Chains A and B, each alone.
Chain A
């Protein structure tokens, strides 16, 4: 069962590569616009070998870790405030949804004008990309604490801070984890948007650099890397953690 799924997936990629190779060999597109898979692969290997892609990746991860960390922290604070205070929620909750609906690339010009063409501007965009979705999910997490948990805890003489930290916080963990996973996904997108228009270093910057020098094989290579990292980190880390929590919390069989 498990093996057959793997086989199907490998086969699928194989077919895609074959079609790609076929289109290339048909000569419909000029080779400079449409490199074959082998050339893209070669560009990736070279990029890793000479360290350019590695340092770009490291720079990107640095931006992401700082930005995502701040987004999770700030988002959690805003979310808890809105989740606990009805007053705050009625006042600001609507605007949070509005902010969340703004695509993160929109923040790039603002960040550059405000902060300059540097890494801080990129991190700023990453923070904006992740904060609102984190805040919204934290708010939902607090709101969706089953009232029977609170009632049961209160009948056991639990109240105040202890009620919050020993019951509401752990009870809201599943939605909170979804928030972290989504914050990562949004931050990752924001990171690429920010870096694409930045002055480097970073994966997005390398992408634009390759475009400027008409290196289509590098462009495609980086797109593949971005996609692979995005899905691998989600599958191996965030989705796994979320599922683990959901299972323990009895929300998933």
Chain B
């Protein structure tokens, strides 16, 4: 393209699952150390796109590259956090965090890394605990520490706080912001919450559905930490809400049409 070099580059990507096309023609360029949120109605392909960046799913068409290298499979340069913590219950918190490091570093180095990231998520006291002894929010913090432990360039987060209560979510927002500023990671963050997206991100990408596609790209030009009653925040919130409402109504209408066609 000849323009500025982009760190994470999604080029004209399409994904089809057995005849069902999730999306096509997705283009997205993300700078290093940028926090980007993906918003969109359920089923528009947010998780699918994230899985493709992770290398868990292959693109049907197009390509994704990171730092100029095409993504072909999962790798330790991309860490992922899911909605479910997916910690290994047979390992202690510390061993969960060092899991991605096994065989690569000495025991001592591993312990140091685990200690560093567990401190970052305020769980030093629980390093010998087992996952089932922790609350959901604590488990998710371990999952974040585990993803960070392999020092990835990109952190992919798929509704990481979706299963948590309001209060825990706010605490984790603050922790994630601190981690983002401290570690200078590039973060791609999927969420259902407009507020969450605006609170955290440098950019909010809004996706539409049927077919899945990107319909808007909002830079969030508000100083951090952001206040919920900031006028620009409220303005953005309403703008995005309007956009999404249209998309969701479209889905509902299609489903209704579909049903009336089949059941009358």
A residues engaging B (CB < 8 A)?
Answer: 146, 148-149, 151-159, 166-167, 170-171, 173, 247-250
User: By the criterion CB–CB under 8 Å, are B88 and A173 in contact?
Assistant: no
Which B residues touch A171, using CB under 8 A? Answer: 88, 90
Which residues of chain B have C-beta atoms less than 8 A from A166's C-beta?
A: 99, 102
Are B99 and A249 in touch, CB under 8 angstroms? no
B261 to chain A minimum Cβ distance, whole angstroms, is: 34
Closest A residue to B149 using CB positions: A156
Q: Is the CB of A152 within 8 A of B86?
A: yes
Q: Contacts A154-B56, A156-B150, A157-B150 known; A149 to B86 CB distance under 8 Å?
A: yes
Stretch from B4-12, B74-82, B219-227 at the A interface: B74-82
Query: In the complex, are the beta carbons of A170 and B56 less than 8 A apart?
Result: no
A154 with B74: CB separation less than 8 A: yes
The total of chain B residues at the interface (CB under 8 A) is 26
> Which B residues are within 8 Å of any A CB, using their own CB?
54-56, 74-76, 78-80, 82, 84, 86, 88-90, 99-100, 102, 130-132, 143, 146-147, 150, 156
Majority DSSP secondary structure for residues of A touching B: helix
Besides A148-B84, A157-B150, A247-B132, 20 more A-B contacts (Cβ < 8 Å) are A146-B86, A148-B86, A151-B56, A152-B86, A153-B99, A154-B74, A155-B54, A155-B79, A155-B147, A155-B156, A156-B74, A156-B76, A156-B99, A156-B146, A166-B102, A248-B90, A248-B130, A248-B132, A249-B89, A250-B131
A152 touches B82 (CB 8 A): yes
A152 and B80 in contact, given A157-B74, A250-B132 (Cβ under 8 angstroms): yes
Given the interface contacts A155-B56, A156-B99, does A250 sit within 8 Å of B74 by beta carbon? no
